[in-house]
Amino acid sequence: MLYNLREYHRPRDLDEALRLLQRPEIRTVPLAGGTDLVGQRNPDVEAVVDLSELGLDTIHTEDGVLRLGAMVRLQTIVEQLGDAFGGLLAEAAHRMAGWNIRNVATIGGTLAAGKVDSPLGVALAALGAEMAVTGQDELIPWPGVPAGGLQGRLITAVELRLAEGKVGTAYEQVARTPVDQPIVSAAAVVREVESGTLSARVAVGGLLASGLKLLDFDIQWPDLSGLDALTADINPADVKSDYLGRPDYRLAIAPVVARRALSAALARIGYETEAEGGTAS
């Protein structure tokens, strides 16, 4: 609960929402699904601005870019974007939480709450997602925050460029149970440049204490040695440590999870490693 909440606003206009959020005299924050905000019990929050009437819940594609409004619910991603990016977005959204939470929580709230190591956070990074933020002309690559932070600002949309040609994607994680939050996770996106030549991006969550580990590299099939750089330059002191996993475990398992994701992404466009019983098509 927000025990010191005194005002609730539900504006229909973005400028009005920003005016309310930027008032110096009363600490006002955006309310999306509220699943993270309400649980924080932050005594400093005195007013909320409900974003649900701002028309930020649309999904559309234009000029090869998929644009998701910040108020698109996680369950909407599951239901409507199963075909996008080989199903990576829908799978990651599905893994975020159970049905009840997914019906309320939004993509904008997830990113604003800084859920970098969450399944959706990892998948969006692998896909090269960018955020549209009020007061900022340039899109901001995820994960990232605008200079000066999000105070008094809103994420209005998340944009993803749709790639042409053969693109394979996959998400893998290790967790205590299949429905638990990941200890270490990886999303891989591979694009065929020409037959036997591919570009790859792998995003790994739960490895670095400071956030996601991103790795871009080229593949001359079947040489996947570019992935070796994933942990090569990591100082063990920089590895995440919490009740879910010790640093040495995370450092050891991250390359395994990343390789699984990479192999699965490759297999989806016909490049199967020998361990999976095939060769490139």
Chain residues binding ligand FAD by CB under 6 A are: 29-37, 39, 51, 70, 96-97, 101, 104-106, 108-110, 112-113, 115, 118, 150, 154-155, 181
The closest alpha carbon to 131, from 146, 122, 141, belongs to 141
Instruction: For residue 28, count other CB atoms closer than 10 A to its CB.
Output: 21
Can you spell out the DSSP letters for 100-112? HHHTT-BHHHHHH
The CB-of-229 to ligand FAD minimum distance in angstroms stands at 27
Quickly tell me which residue has 């919490």 as its tokens: 242
Smaller CB separation from ligand FAD, 203 or 266: 203
The CB-of-93 to ligand FAD minimum distance in angstroms stands at 9
Residue 219 token pair: 């593949």
User: What is the C-alpha separation between 121 and 118, in angstroms, rounded?
Assistant: 5
Smaller CB separation from ligand FAD, 107 or 224: 107
Pairing between β-strand 7-9 and β-strand 47-50 as defined by DSSP bridges: parallel
Smaller CB separation from ligand FAD, 124 or 190: 124
Smaller CB separation from ligand FAD, 77 or 262: 77
Smaller CB separation from ligand FAD, 35 or 231: 35
Smaller CB separation from ligand FAD, 179 or 237: 179
Instruction: Tell me which residue has its CB nearest to ligand FAD.
Output: 109
The CB-of-243 to ligand FAD minimum distance in angstroms stands at 15
Name the DSSP letter for residue 154.
-
Can you spell out the DSSP letters for 23-77? -SSS-EEEESS-TTHHHH--TT--EEEE-TTSS---EEEETTEEEEETT-BHHHH
The CB-of-181 to ligand FAD minimum distance in angstroms stands at 4
Residue 105 token pair: 């929580």
The CB-of-78 to ligand FAD minimum distance in angstroms stands at 13
The CB-of-84 to ligand FAD minimum distance in angstroms stands at 19
Q: If DSSP states are collapsed to H, E and C, what string results for 8-36?
A: EECCCCHHHHHHHHCCCCCCEEEECCCCC
